[in-house]
Amino acid sequence: MQKVPIVNESPYDLPEYATSSSAGVDLRAAISSEITLAPLERKVVGTGIKIAIPQGYEAQIRPRSGLSAKYGVTVLNSPGTIDADYRGEIGVILVNLSSESYTLNPGERIAQLVFSKVDQVEWKIEENLESTTRGEGGFGSTGKN
């Protein structure tokens, strides 16, 4: 298990895994008073958390399924990537996709944080790419089912 340095400037406990099989930890809204998101409104909500991600990893901000399914509130750029060299507060871009306003309370769980290994690539310039069965077929080209 990787050890990740963390600074917690929020009044809440450190993010933790809900179960031993959980992929992500829940992030909480580090706000001093409630915030209302109108339909189709988006806001960056701070978490009060700063982390030092190990080289070769990224952290992804993902929506919480319950918040999305029940209220239509989700993470706008999902998944949002936090690079290993970022040291600022983690912010979550929330958007309300429902037709009703949503009130966000201090300490409310707003997103999940998932760590993933990443590789950087080096470009190898070619005139053509190796052909495949799919070829240049794009969106929907492999069928509906």
Residue ranges and CATH numbers for the domains of the chain are 6-13+25-117 (2.70.40.10)
What is the model's pLDDT at position 145? 63
Separation CA 109–CA 102 (nearest Å): 14
User: How large is the C-alpha radius of gyration of the chain?
Assistant: 19
Closest CA to 61 of 47, 88, 79, 46: 79
Q: What's the DSSP call for residue 123?
A: -
At 97-143, the pLDDT tens digits run 999 999 999 999 999 999 999 999 999 999 999 998 888 877 777 77
Global pTM exceeds 0.75: yes
Separation CA 65–CA 143 (nearest Å): 27
The residues, any chain, with a CB within 8 Å of residue 12's CB and separated by 6 or more, are 28, 30, 48, 107
